[in-house]
Each structure stands twice: as C-alpha cells, then as structure tokens.
Amino acid sequence: MYNILVVDDEREITDAIEIYLKNQNYYVFKAYDGQEALEIFEREDIHLVIMDIMMPRLDGTNATLRMREKSNVPIIMLSAKSEDMDKIWGLNVGADDYITKPFNPMELLARVNSCLRRYTSYSNALTSKENVIKIGGIILKDDSKEVLVDGDVIKITPLEYRILYLLMSNPNRVFSIEEIYEKVWKEPAYNPDTVTVHIRRIREKIEINPKEPKYLKVVWGIGYKFEQQS
C-alpha cells in the first residue's frame, strides 16, 4: 500500500482528496501547512505528496524545496492559480506535476497513479544490469541512476534522469516535446509544456553555460536533441 501525504490549508479539500485516494486503496496522511507536512514527511514513509502552494506558516514551494533536499518522491503541486508562471515556478522548485483547482477527481487520480508508476519503475531499476553512457564530459550510469558531469555526481530527479537517458541513448536524434512527454511520462501528452521546464533544469545542471548549451540543444520548431561530441 502506498502512503500519500495531502497538504492543503483548506480542510474540505484534504478531506475530499482523502476520500478519493482511500477508494483507490491508498493510505492518506493529511497536513494543513508546509511545516506540519515536513514533520510528517520526516516521520513517515511517504511515497507521494500532493502539495498546495499558498499556505500559512510555510508555503508549498518552500516545503517542496526542503523535501527535495532529502528525497525524490513524486510531488504534485495543487493550486488555485492557473497562470503559466505559477506552474513553471512549481516545476522549477522540484515538483513533478501540477493540477489546478477546481480539479476533476478522476484527473487527480490519474496523475497520482502515473507518478507512482514512474517512481516505482525508477526505484526498481536500481538493481538493473550496469549500463553506462558517456558523451563528452557527461556520464550516465544506469545501474545506480547516477549522472556525472566532469567527474562530479549531480543531483537529479527521476523525471530529469529519464529525459536525459532518453536523449543520451539516442544521440543526435531530435525528439519533439510531445514525443519526450509520451516516452518519459508514459501517457498521452496532456502537459507537454512541462518538458521545457525540465529541460531547462537539466541544462542548469550539466551545461557550463545553459544559455549556450554544448550538449542539450533545441532544434527550433521541432524539439530537442543531445548532441554527440566529436
């Protein structure tokens, strides 16, 4: 059974989400601000977090940043705001997905199930046969799910790793945003714009100058590729 932490200062919302999740046989922990969420997160074995953005004491973005210091569990941002910048900010601080209020319960459950499938697949793959990809100064070790840049291990989320693995496994091949989403998220491209945000985060971690990337390049009007180095 998976343990899901639902964080929102509106008790009606946490209670409603709890009902939806329990009907799917998930175990639910509830918190009403970011600080309480961190306390539960430290104490319990949490497999996924549904995190509201605007909350008292400690908001969702700062709570997410602190969770990301210690864990790669999936985090779905929940917000009443639907502007693109709010979504991008949530993804930039470490969220895996987002959904806006008011939300469709079936959509929320679909996103929860999808995130858990990806996370479980990533965790199980830790025991897979060694597979190392090296392009220039970037080394990807699939056995340990590590990425090294010029010899130094970098911190990378499961989604970032899967995107990087896809592109590095197919050097010089151009993937559209929709292709990347469908291959990495393993679902139809509901939110392909999230790919752009994750690509930006990967560049910040592997490129010397993210604005003039050496490896992860955009092909305007088509998509992205990881360029083979001569």
In order, the DSSP letters of the chain are --EEEEE-S-HHHHHHHHHHHHHTT-EEEEESSHHHHHHHHHHS--SEEEEESS-SSS-HHHHHHHHHTT----EEEEES---HHHHHHHHHTT-SEEEESS--HHHHHHHHHHHHHHHHHHHHGGGSPP-EEEETTEEEETTTTEEEETTEE----HHHHHHHHHHHHSTT--B-HHHHHHHHH-S--S-THHHHHHHHHHHHHH-SSTTS-SSEEEETTTEEEEPPP-
What is the distance between the alpha carbons of residues 140 and 131, in angstroms, rounded to a whole number? 8
Residue 123's pLDDT is what? Answer: 59
What is the radius of gyration, based on Cα positions, of the chain? Answer: 18
State residue 129's pLDDT score. Answer: 44
Q: Residue 30 and residue 54: Cα distance in Å, rounded?
A: 16
d(CA 10, CA 19): 15
Model pLDDT, residue 82: 62
Q: What is the pLDDT along the chain (230 residues), one digit of tens a residue?
A: 799 999 999 999 999 999 999 999 999 999 999 999 999 999 999 999 999 988 988 999 899 999 988 888 899 998 876 656 666 777 777 888 888 888 899 999 998 998 888 777 665 554 444 588 999 889 998 888 889 998 899 988 888 999 999 999 999 999 999 999 999 988 887 778 889 989 999 999 999 999 899 999 999 989 999 998 76
**Structural domains in the chain?**
3-124 (3.40.50.2300), 128-226 (1.10.10.10)
pLDDT recorded at residue 121: 66
pTM above 0.75, yes or no: no
**What length is written for the chain?**
230
Residue 121 CB: number of other CB atoms within 10 A? Answer: 12
